[in-house]
Structure 1
Amino acid sequence: MSWNELVHLVGQDSMLFGLAFILLFMFLRRTLRVGGFLGFTGVLTTVVLLAMLSWIQWNRYQVGNSIMQIVITDNPTYRILTPTQEPMFEPAVITVDNIRYITDKHNEKSPNYLPWRVIAIPK
């Protein structure tokens, strides 16, 4: 995965990561200064929040790789659908600015989709 793909993968969740790290810093400071129930539970729940956000990003990455492999190998047992549930008749992988997109070869006006945005459905 390239740096550009990673930026698109994380997308809007980067603000959530930033807020979670700010919260973690605040709760760590409170825990070291005062201690108490609020500090310890804040640190614990913020770490859980960061773990969940990382897990979501990892799953999005895995889904994108799986769909990319389906398109590259031209697997006949799967049908690729756009986010609007329209089928792609001949999906292909194109690379623009070091980012891999999936598009339809038959439709010249087909937009480029990021791999984790399309849906792979078994036939």
Structure 2
Amino acid sequence: MSRADQAASSQKHDVFQAIADPTRRSLLQLLVDQEIPVKDIAGHYPMSRTAVSKHLRILSEAGLVVERKVGRETRYRLDPEPLLELKRWLAYYERYWENRLQALKRLVEADESVHPRGE
């Protein structure tokens, strides 16, 4: 299998799809500072270990978590690198709203100079 094929197969889900689910966002928070075995991760959620594993697989396919075998145990940790794509996308909209709020501020201040309060 070529590197391109491997990359395509490992990117079955994009970051946006992966973080769309609140459980997966919670899993990312849990894995922020530590590598945790799947059995311990499952203990944090009111669902089966199989269901937790499915969520972890989606996060793994999006490149957001890395798994490592230690004996018979699979451990997971966060890989924050793919979140940069999300950060760049959100930065565009942050600038958009900042510009809109600045325009609103100028409009309100201009209106107050023409129509001062209390008169």
Whether TM exceeds 0.5 here: the answer is no
TM-score, normalised by the number of residues in structure 1: 0.31
